[in-house]
Structure 1
Amino acid sequence: MSLRILLTNDDGWEAPGISAMADGLRAAGHEVVVVAPADNQSGASARISPTGKLTVTRPRGDDPVWAVGGSPADSVIFGLTHVFETTLGGRPDLVVSGANAGANAGQAVHFSGTVGAAVCATGFGTPAIAVSTLMAWDTTPTTELFDDTVVAVVALLHGRTPADVVPDGAVLNINIPDADAPRPLTAAAARADHLPMGRMGYAGDGPEYQLAFEPGPEPAPGTDTAVLRSGRISLSVVPVVGTPSAADHLAAVATDLTDRIAAHQ
């Protein structure tokens, strides 16, 4: 089953994660249109342009890539309303946001532009998936570091409709463990942790301060941070107003995804 996918992110349209995801989804037979920020917009959440004006370019000529001078949410709105509705004549089947360089679990979902883009899509009635890959803060992302992520997302979507995968009216938040995780990868349904993945705060003596991170407390069992630290793929739902409980849906999706990855590897 081929899906029409709007692919976005918060790291910028040239980032290794979105490049790997675009190549992998196209190789699996999906139609992929990239509409993503022109530069890095990490931490933008679901912010939109305060002026209501955007500069948008086509950096690869006729290739289906739009670089938006704005946030991830701006990119989704432009992609849905201008690129798909006006240029391509209809909405996409699915919005995929990512793959992000770094996990977005726990309270990180509130800051994440990757997740914010997916939440924005849901507000337009389009199913959306946020995809992130755990890696150390000082890691330089390369496309190869997203191989497991691409395999997982392609396996998740193979032969299925978005409704089979994404809970109604919700954002499916997928976090992939790092390369040291046990193989074959397995997936588990999780609930969003109420704590950040690490303690954060601004340090310094002033007048300039630097955002700093320290290891956080041990996460509670069953949370997305705990599942990810155990070396498993975490599937959770980002709370959206009016979203029904998705626990049973997630459990079935996680079991099926584990079987699909095992068959692939």
Structure 2
Amino acid sequence: MRSQLLLAILPFTQAIRIVQSNDDGWAEINIRTFFDTLSKAGHDVVLSGPAENQSGTSSSDAAPTTVDSDGCEFSSCPSGSPPTGANATNPRLNYVNSFPVTSIKTGIDTTGPKIWNGGKAELATTGPNVGSNIGIQVPFSGTVGAAVFAAHDRQIPAIAFSGKSGDPTAWDQPTPLYSKVYADLALNITSRIISSGTPYLPNDVWLNVNFPDVSSTKCSNTNQFQFILTRINTGVFSEKDTEWCGTDRLPTETSVSLKSGCYVSISVGDAADKTTVDAARQKEVLAKLQPILSCLP
């Protein structure tokens, strides 16, 4: 079933509290586009991202510090700014001058509850990252690190989104096509998980989602994409996966990324070690995602 079929149910998806972060920085256009898309869908969103690009920082965590002489990325805050801060006109857009894990932790523990009058985040999303996070890249990704922290340390269901296209781009530049497409696809997946009911994901589970290249001539419309259930690591010596598409071994993210076509890989990750979860929890997530999943040809 293709993603356009899911679009019909979006208006009926329950609006929830969502905390956002990434590792490319709070002012990068991908996360800002997704923030706008989630907000327009009716969700109560708080963005808490790093003040600077923190790609490749994995699960590092340190107390925020005063912003140095270079200021925040893309001149989004001046030098000497406090360790944490918010957009002058939108308090839901927040920076944390530290790592992605620290940023989402601040959003979950401090910023979100303040804006939500003591309410807690019901779902965490990270990205869409600029560049893929598949296979051996996963343990080193700050976007993944932030999602795993939410799922493992705060027991908040989390989804990490990454897209192959693009370069770091400021929030105030014209929105690239790939940012719009990735935000729409990410909303589709998020909405499917929410509409499946609570618990949105099994305990200690996060989703690792990777979008392929997008251009004006390739994969330019959400209707062209197919969602494929995958695994993170190769699994040569792993236990069997849940049965799907006639097999008990899911394709890897890497193998899907190498195929010609508009394929989105969705892996069910173990937040305890950033690898693929056991078949039982895969099966739980499969039941939630099945309406939008396809099998590889």
When residues 125 and 111 of structure 1 are mapped into structure 2, their CA distance, relative to the original with a 3 A threshold, is same
Deviation for aligned residue 1:258? 4.4
When residues 166 and 149 of structure 1 are mapped into structure 2, their CA distance, relative to the original with a 3 A threshold, is farther
Partners of 1:254 and 1:29 lie apart in 2 by: 21
TM-score, normalised via structure 1 length: 0.78
Q: Does 1:74 align with 2:102?
A: yes
- CA contact 2:64–2:84 (8 Å) conserved in 1: no
Partners of 2:146 and 2:156 lie apart in 1 by: 11
Q: Does 1:170 align with 2:205?
A: yes
AA at the equivalent of 2:101: A
5+ unaligned residues in a row in structure 2: which ranges?
1-13, 66-82, 170-174, 236-248
Query: Who is 2:269 aligned against?
Result: 238
1:103-252 matches, cutoff 5 A: 103-122=132-151, 123-135=153-165, 139=167, 141=169, 142-158=175-191, 160=195, 163=198, 165-179=200-214, 180-181=218-219, 184-194=224-234, 222-230=251-259, 231=261, 232-241=263-272, 244-245=278-279, 246-252=281-287
SS across alignment from 2:132: coil
Partners of 1:11 and 1:43 lie apart in 2 by: 9
When residues 162 and 178 of structure 1 are mapped into structure 2, their CA distance, relative to the original with a 3 A threshold, is farther
The size of the alignment, in residue pairs, is 231
Deviation for aligned residue 1:156? 2.0
AA at the equivalent of 2:231: R
State the identity %: 29
Query: Who is 1:209 aligned against?
Result: none
Deviation for aligned residue 1:112? 0.4
Partners of 2:178 and 2:270 lie apart in 1 by: 29
SS across alignment from 2:31: helix
Partners of 2:112 and 2:168 lie apart in 1 by: 33
Of 101, 113, 119, 1:90 maps to 119
- CA contact 1:128–1:172 (8 Å) conserved in 2: yes
Partners of 1:175 and 1:10 lie apart in 2 by: 15
- CA contact 2:229–2:250 (8 Å) conserved in 1: no
AA at the equivalent of 2:136: Q
Partners of 1:53 and 1:25 lie apart in 2 by: 27
- CA contact 1:132–1:176 (8 Å) conserved in 2: yes
When residues 165 and 102 of structure 1 are mapped into structure 2, their CA distance, relative to the original with a 3 A threshold, is farther
AA at the equivalent of 1:126: I
SS across alignment from 1:115: helix
Partners of 1:18 and 1:95 lie apart in 2 by: 13
Partners of 2:86 and 2:27 lie apart in 1 by: 12
Query: Who is 2:291 aligned against?
Result: 256
Query: Who is 2:26 aligned against?
Result: 13
RMSD of equivalent CA atoms: 2.6
SS across alignment from 1:74: helix
1:26-45 matches, cutoff 5 A: 26-45=39-58
When residues 234 and 249 of structure 1 are mapped into structure 2, their CA distance, relative to the original with a 3 A threshold, is farther
Query: Who is 2:59 aligned against?
Result: 46
